[in-house]
Each structure stands twice: as structure tokens, then as C-alpha cells.
Structure 1
Amino acid sequence: MKFRDHLSALMLPFGALILIPAALLSVSQDTTMGGEVPYLINIIILLFGVSILLVGFALMVLTIKMFYQIGKGTLAPWAPTQRIVMNGIYLRTRNPMISGVILIIVGEGVLFSSWLILLWSFVFFIVNHFYFIFSEEPGLQKRFGEDYLRYKKNVPRWIPQRNPWNPNHKAGE
């Protein structure tokens, strides 16, 4: 895997996390949440936004690292993983990387008190939801076959399950 592949793969989250929110902030001076709020509430909102953002960032970094180390690829469709990643957080939910990106965008929306950025997080989720259903999942099924179908059957798309799936467990054992 070339450094250039990794660098180009980071352009996708850069656009979603930096460029689009910055553009929305630049055109939305009058569409923020509320007006003057007490200092303590501002601090609470700031801490809440930063907390969401940091959890999302940690999730995104962890999953990108797993794509590289375990999957031998990147998050970009033009340099995909060579192996299916069925480890760690991927045993609880199939899309933790995008969940991390969504959390970052929500954190930005809270941090900047921007309804437009929060709306962007919802639009981003909906677009990815349908992309996964109609493009990514069929592609993964074609690339990884029965392994992916078994994984898909046992691990939810979005909401993490409480107990991680055990890929070594066979039904009826």
C-alpha cells in the first residue's frame, strides 16, 4: 500500500469533517442555536461537543488503523481492504468508522451551536446508509462471499450490539 493511497483516502473524511462544516458555518451566521446563554451553560455545551467529537475521532482513528493493519487497505473505495475486518469494534457493528465520522460532525454541530452542521450529520448518515445498502454491501458480498454474508447476518449495520459476535462459533454448537 502506497503512502499516496493513504493520503488520498483521507480526502473523503477531510471533506465531510472540515470543508463542508466550514462552508456551512461561513454561510450560517444567523442559523445557530439560541442566542446569549449563561457562561456555565456555554462551558457545558463546549465540553459536551468536544466529548462527542473526541469519541468520534478515536473511533475513526482506531478503525482506519484496523483497515490498514488487518484489512491491508484503506477506507477509500479505490484502495479497499484485501481482507474482511472482523475484529474489535467490528464484532459489535459493521460500520464503526462512519459512526465515528458522524459523531465528529455532531460534535462540531454542538460545539459551534450550528443547526446546519447537525442537519449535515443527518444528511451524511442517510447518504451513507443507502450507499451501504445499494453499493458497499453488495460489493463486499462479491469480494468476500460467504464470510461476509455470515458476518452481515450476525453483526448489525449501525447500532452496536451489547455482546461482540464470535466468528469462530458455529450455529448449533
Structure 2
Amino acid sequence: MAQTASPARAWIGTILFLLLAPGVIAGLIPWLISGWRWRDWGGLAWVVVPIAWILIAVGVVILLHAFALFALHRGTPAPVAPTQNLVVTGAYRFVRNPMYLSVLNIILGQALLYGSWWLVLYAIIVLTMVVGFVKGYEEPTLTRTYGEEYLNYRRHVPGWWPLLKPWRE
């Protein structure tokens, strides 16, 4: 597997993939579904709105962090330009799929903020597709590419429910 030629190419590829994948899935499509019209939560707004924004903010921060890790490892999260080494630092020490979970956080935060059951349904569809992709493509590919290193990582770090303490090799 070839490593991205330069740090600049890694960052450019990572940013482009960020805009194309999560940007569309967690930004454009929720906007098309909800119009980003805020729901009037009345007396519950003081509880609901901060929770929604916390979900969105945590999702965005972890997503950007996870994407940056790929660029720092001189590759991208895109299957066409991966890193040479398995990324098991940062958020990946807590859970194997922080990007997917972050995207779901962002979508569900928007569902709450906009009071949209359609966004909840969309989040369920995204989750179903992501799990299918992870099980059908990503995990077999990572196993073939990184072998025992990935299998060891997979044994210690859960795919979907984050550890409370980071895994240390």
C-alpha cells in the first residue's frame, strides 16, 4: 500500500473527503430534509437546545480530530488514498469507528434541534448502511491489509461503544 506522497496532499485529500462524505451526509442531506428550521420547544428549549448543540459540537470536534489523524499519518480516510499504517491513536484508542459515530451524533443533534422525526429515520438508515459497509468492506479490507495488527486492535477496542479508558498497546 503506497503512502501519500506529501503532507500537503494528505491534508488536501482529507479535507476534500471531509467535504464530500460527512459534509454531504451530516450537512447537505439533513438540510434538504429539515430545511434547518428550528422547532419551537417552548418551555423545554432550555433543556433540548443545549443537548442538541452538545451532540452536534461533540460530533464535529471528534470528526475533525479523527480526520486530522489520517492526514497526520500521511493518508486520507478515503479508501482510494489510505494511510500506510493503521491509525490507532487519538479517538481511535476509544472506539474503532469514531467518524461514523460522530456523523450520527451530528445528525441526531440536528434531529433534536429541528424536532425532525425524518432526521431520526435518516440516522437509522445511515447507521444501517454504515454497519453494512464496515462489516462487508472495511473490516475485511483492514484485516487483509494489516493482519494481526488490526485483529489485535479489534480484540481490544470496540467498534461502536467507546471505552471509558483509552486502549494502550
TM-score above 0.5: yes
Contact 2:14–2:67 (Cα < 8 Å) also in 1: no
Match in the other structure for 2:32 = 23
> In 2, distance between residues paired with 1:89 and 1:115?
29
Match in the other structure for 1:166 = 168
Match of residue 17, structure 2, among 9, 16, 21: 9
Match in the other structure for 1:62 = 65
> In 2, distance between residues paired with 1:122 and 1:86?
27
> In 1, distance between residues paired with 2:165 and 2:32?
40
Match in the other structure for 1:171 = none
Contact 2:108–2:123 (Cα < 8 Å) also in 1: yes
- Counterpart code for 1:99: L
Give unmatched runs, 5+ long, in structure 1: 168-173
- Counterpart code for 2:121: L
> In 1, distance between residues paired with 2:41 and 2:148?
55
TM superposition shift of 1:97: 1.3
> In 2, distance between residues paired with 1:88 and 1:41?
35
Match of residue 130, structure 2, among 128, 131, 149: 128
Contact 2:63–2:102 (Cα < 8 Å) also in 1: yes
RMSD (CA atoms): 2.1
> In 1, distance between residues paired with 2:162 and 2:54?
19
SS at match of 2:21: helix
Give unmatched runs, 5+ long, in structure 2: none
TM superposition shift of 1:42: 2.2
- Counterpart code for 2:53: V
TM superposition shift of 1:89: 2.2
Q: TM-score, normalised by structure 2?
A: 0.85
Following superposition, which runs of at least 4 residues in structure 1 exceed 4 angstroms of deviation? none
Contact 1:72–1:83 (Cα < 8 Å) also in 2: no
TM superposition shift of 1:161: 1.8
Q: How many residues end up aligned between the 2 structures?
A: 160
> In 2, distance between residues paired with 1:131 and 1:55?
24
- Counterpart code for 2:79: P
> In 2, distance between residues paired with 1:89 and 1:18?
22
Match of residue 77, structure 1, among 62, 76, 79: 79
Contact 1:50–1:107 (Cα < 8 Å) also in 2: yes
Q: Which has the larger radius of gyration?
A: 1
- Counterpart code for 1:6: T
